[in-house]
Structure 1
Amino acid sequence: MDTMRDRFAPVVSRLLDEDPRVAVVLAAIGTDSFAAAARRHPDRVINVGIREQLLIGAGAGLALTGLRPVLHTFASFLVERPFEQVKLDLGHQDVGAVLVSAAASFDWPAGGYTHMAPGDVALLDTLDGWTVHVPGHPDEAETLLRHAVAADDDKVYVRLSAQANARALPVDGQRTHTVREGRRGVVVAVGPMLDAVLAATEGLDVTVLYAATVRPFDAAALRRAAEGAAADVVLVEPYLAGTSTAAANDALADVPHRVLGLGVGRRELRRYGTLSEHVSAHGLDPRSLRERITGFLTGGRVAAHG
């Protein structure tokens, strides 16, 4: 199976051909994949080099002229390093862009901590008006990329990952899907966490929801699920643990409930290791998830990871 990032350049290259408003801005990363598109559209495929602040600033400038810019690099260089430009050049000037990241939280461990960004979605949460897509399969990534580019002048973040579920679900850029129904709690799996959550909850009497779009948070779907189950909610996210707990609490503000946020821990893991080793170290493998979910739902102690 190809990866989400394998889909990125072909999809956006086709959009460049189809829509004269679309432009692509790169910061050295991914330039080879857009070489053919750059020959066809030299004025709308721009490489600013290793200058991530300029990446955002140039994208904002293109948006001010009426173009729909797609900006791409690793998540740590797209959200964290140029965050002031994301806040001011896009947010303060009230213009939109599509930010498409790679490497997710720790997809390339050999790159070290400079190439890891578990706090990217939490950081964007400090700003107003962002849509955040977290696809769990390359087919979903393709659909959500098209949604993002077509979203007029909205500010959209598309978080691509090397991790993926075995099959795609129909995603529309808005709604959360009910994958399994139960009565003893609700587990929300975000993006590439779905397969691990389904394995971890096999045989448990819980509702499993799937979210490939996390901002805006689908509060209505969570409320519906909580009506038919105990209002105990577990969020399993592929980035910083607890990123969406406030959104879940707000959704259930008038309902007695408990929320557990599982995801990447705050403690830095200083050995590079492999992607799967990082998943296990943060307690996001099926065995660890099952232990932590059942512990929470039965009122026991939940083991901390990371």
Structure 2
Amino acid sequence: MDTMRDRFAPVVSRILDEDPRVAVVLAEIGLVPFLEAQRRHPDRVINVGIREQLLVGAGAGLALAGMRPVLHTFASFLVERPFEQVKLDFGHQGLGGVLVSAGASYDVSGGGFTHMAPGDVALLDTLDGWSVQVPGHPDEAEVLLRQAIGAGDERVYVRLSVQANREALPVDGQHLLTVREGRRGVVVAVGPLLDQVLAATEGLDVSVLYATTVRPFDAAGLRRAVGASAADVVLVEPYLAGTSTGAANDALADVPHRVLGLGVGRRELRRYGSVDEHVAAHGLDAASLRERISGFLDVGVPGVPA
């Protein structure tokens, strides 16, 4: 199966052919797949070199000129390094654009901590007006990319990852999807962690919801899944643990509830290892998730250890 990032350049190149308002801004990373599109549209595929602050500033300048800019590099260089430019050039000026990251939390683990960005969504959460899309499959990435680029002048962050679920689901860029129904709690799986969550909750009497759109958070969808009684909710996110616990708490403010946020821990792992090793180290593999989810919800399969 190709990766989400494999889909990115072909999809956006087709959009460049279709929509003269769209422009792509790169900072050296990801340039090669766009060389043919750059030949066709030399004024709308722009490489600023390894200058991430300029990447964001140039994108905002294109937005000021009425264009729909698409900015791309690794998440640590797109959100964290030029955060002031994201905050001021887009947010303070009220401009729209699409930030598309690669690398996720630790996809480029061999690059060291400079190439890891588990805090990107939490950081954007400090700003107003950003939608955040976290696809879990290349087909979903294609759908969400097209929606993001075609979303008028909104500010959208699309987080791509090499981690992916086996099958795509019919995501709509707005709502939580109910994948499994149960009575003893609700588990929300975000993006590429759905397969791990489904394996972890196999046989447990819990509902599993799937989220690819995490901002704005589908509060109404969570409320419907929980119902009117007391609720226990577990959020499993592929970035900083607890990033969406506040949103879930707000959604359930008038219902007695408990929320557990699982995700990437704050402790820096200095033995960088592989993606799978990072998944296990942060307790996001199926076996670890099963233990943590069943312990919090106090559920299990009769005769089977939790």
| Residue 131 of structure 1: aligned partner | 131
CA RMSD between the two structures: 1.1
CA–CA distance in structure 1, aligned partners of residues 213 and 147 of structure 2: 11
Deviation string 1:89-120 (CA, Å, 9 cap, x unpaired) is 00000001100000000011100000000000
The alignment status of 1:98 with 2:101, answered yes or no, reads no
Runs of 4+ with >3 A deviation = none
CA–CA distance in structure 1, aligned partners of residues 223 and 244 of structure 2: 15
Aligned 1:51-200 pairs, distance under 5 A: 51-200=51-200
CA–CA distance in structure 2, aligned partners of residues 229 and 111 of structure 1: 47
CA–CA distance in structure 2, aligned partners of residues 130 and 246 of structure 1: 16
| Residue 258 of structure 1: aligned partner | 258
Change (3 A) 1:11 1:229: farther
Corresponding residue SS for 1:172: coil
Paired residues in the alignment total 300
CA–CA distance in structure 1, aligned partners of residues 241 and 36 of structure 2: 40
Corresponding residue SS for 1:16: helix
Could you tell me whether the CA contact under 8 Å between 1:185 and 1:230 is conserved in 2?
no
- Return 5+ residue gaps in structure 1 as ranges: 300-306
CA–CA distance in structure 2, aligned partners of residues 42 and 215 of structure 1: 33
Aligned 1:268-283 pairs, distance under 5 A: 268-283=268-283
Q: Which amino acid aligns with 1:286?
A: A
Deviation string 1:168-206 (CA, Å, 9 cap, x unpaired) is 000111011000000000000000010000000000000
Identity %: 82
Corresponding residue SS for 1:24: strand
Q: 1:230 offset after TM fit, Å?
A: 5.2
Could you tell me whether the CA contact under 8 Å between 1:186 and 1:229 is conserved in 2?
no
The alignment status of 1:20 with 2:20, answered yes or no, reads yes
Deviation string 1:272-297 (CA, Å, 9 cap, x unpaired) is 11100000000000000000001101
Could you tell me whether the CA contact under 8 Å between 1:21 and 1:66 is conserved in 2?
yes
Q: Which amino acid aligns with 1:4?
A: M
Corresponding residue SS for 2:132: strand
Deviation string 1:227-275 (CA, Å, 9 cap, x unpaired) is 1775000000000000000000000000000000000000000001110
Could you tell me whether the CA contact under 8 Å between 1:24 and 1:71 is conserved in 2?
yes
Could you tell me whether the CA contact under 8 Å between 1:25 and 1:46 is conserved in 2?
yes
| Residue 291 of structure 2: aligned partner | 291
Corresponding residue SS for 1:55: helix
Q: Which amino acid aligns with 1:36?
A: E
Corresponding residue SS for 2:5: helix
Could you tell me whether the CA contact under 8 Å between 1:184 and 1:229 is conserved in 2?
no
Could you tell me whether the CA contact under 8 Å between 1:219 and 1:248 is conserved in 2?
yes
CA–CA distance in structure 2, aligned partners of residues 130 and 272 of structure 1: 31
Could you tell me whether the CA contact under 8 Å between 2:229 and 2:255 is conserved in 1?
no
The alignment status of 1:35 with 2:35, answered yes or no, reads yes
Corresponding residue SS for 1:268: coil
Deviation string 1:2-42 (CA, Å, 9 cap, x unpaired) is 00000000000000000000000000001000000000000
- TM-score norm. by structure 2 comes to 0.97
- Return 5+ residue gaps in structure 2 as ranges: 300-306
Could you tell me whether the CA contact under 8 Å between 2:26 and 2:48 is conserved in 1?
yes
CA–CA distance in structure 2, aligned partners of residues 108 and 31 of structure 1: 17
